[in-house]
């Protein structure tokens, strides 16, 4: 579910482009973070947990194609790549590597914003309203969770936490990622809140042996193997 103020990650080595996007997107109601390199951006992805990324293909060091493939680990992330007007081969590689859409430079800010909004709606719409893992089933439409034949009563935050885990089975999610996705980027609390909710969630879904929601020491949590 997209927050009222979507978070947009901007990665471009041209300062003028970064400034344009930060100012333009912020003015239109988006939250932004901008970086000049793929390495810098990747270090902050877990903490920032963006809903969308605008990535220039031509970057110093690790290029935008490599970053796009890494960002694609998040199925809910909308990725828009920026290309040179005649860079057909790069464009194809970007789309095959996981990008959702592209714009050629120079671009119109209004078009980029329109594509971001449409892309965020489309990506969210493509995510199934139901999720299953083992005996667990989550139905977003009915806002209902069952463990086997038993309906489980969860608080709003426990529901969002389980939903995030079930939408990313097998993926290790850090405490900072969970805190940002479930409580919001500006939440002033610490990651002990995540531990408390994980413990409560395990109890309610009958996972006292921690076989479903596994603790990956030093990293975070993972649903399943």
Alpha-carbon distance of 162 to 197, in angstroms, equals: 10
Kindly report the number of other CB atoms within 10 A of residue 190's CB atom.
10
Residues 100 and 161 in one domain: no
Answer whether 14's CB lies under 8 Å from 35's CB: no
Angle between helical axes of 192-205 and 156-166 (0-180°, round to 10): 80
- For all residues of the chain together, what is the average pLDDT? 86
When comparing pLDDT for 107 and 189, which is higher? Answer: 107
Residues 103 and 140 in one domain: no
The Cα-based distances of 31 to 27, 45, 72, 225 in angstroms read: 9, 14, 20, 34
pLDDT single digits (tens) 22-81:
999 999 999 999 999 999 999 888 788 888 999 999 999 999 999 999 888 777 789 999
Whichever domain contains 138, its CATH number is 1.10.10.10
Whether residue 201 has pLDDT greater than 90 = yes
Residues 214 and 178 in one domain: yes
pLDDT single digits (tens) 209-223:
888 999 988 888 999
DSSP codes joined into one string, 57-90 = S--SSS-HHHHHHHHTTSTT-EEEEEEETT-HHH
Residue 13 lies in domain = 7-126
Q: Distance between terminal CA atoms of the chain?
A: 25
Residues 151 and 194 in one domain: yes
Residue 1 lies in a domain: no
pTM of the model: 0.61
Residues 171 and 111 in one domain: no
Answer whether 85's CB lies under 8 Å from 149's CB: no
pLDDT at 128: 54
Whether residue 184 has pLDDT greater than 80 = no
The tally of domains found in the chain comes to: 2
Bridge partners, 78 (sequence order): 52
Alpha-carbon distance of 18 to 31, in angstroms, equals: 13
SS3 (DSSP) at 212: coil
Of 104, 126, 148, the position where a domain reaches its end is: 126
């Amino acid at each position: 579910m997209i927050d009222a103020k979507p978070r947009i990650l901007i990665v471009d080595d041209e300062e003028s482009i970064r400034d344009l996007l930060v100012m333009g997107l912020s003015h239109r109601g988006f939250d932004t973070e901008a970086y000049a390199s793929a390495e810098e951006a990747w270090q902050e992805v877990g903490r920032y947990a963006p809903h969308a990324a605008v990535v220039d293909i031509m970057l110093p060091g690790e290029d935008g194609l490599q970053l796009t493939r890494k960002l694609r680990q998040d199925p809910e992330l909308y990725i828009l790549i920026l290309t040179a007007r005649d860079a057909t081969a790069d464009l194809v590689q970007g789309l095959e590597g996981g990008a959702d859409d592209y714009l050629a430079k120079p671009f119109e800010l209004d078009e980029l914003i329109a594509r971001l909004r449409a892309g965020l709606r489309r990506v969210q719409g493509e995510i199934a309203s139901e999720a299953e893992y083992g005996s667990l089933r989550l139905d977003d439409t009915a806002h209902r969770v069952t463990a086997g034949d038993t309906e489980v009563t969860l608080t709003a935050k426990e529901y969002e936490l389980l939903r995030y885990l079930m939408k990313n089975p097998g993926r290790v999610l850090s405490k900072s990622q969970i805190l940002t996705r479930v409580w919001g980027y500006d939440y002033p609390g610490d990651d002990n809140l995540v531990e408390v909710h994980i413990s409560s969630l395990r109890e309610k879904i009958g996972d006292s042996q921690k076989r479903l929601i596994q603790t990956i020491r030093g990293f975070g949590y993972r649903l399943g193997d």
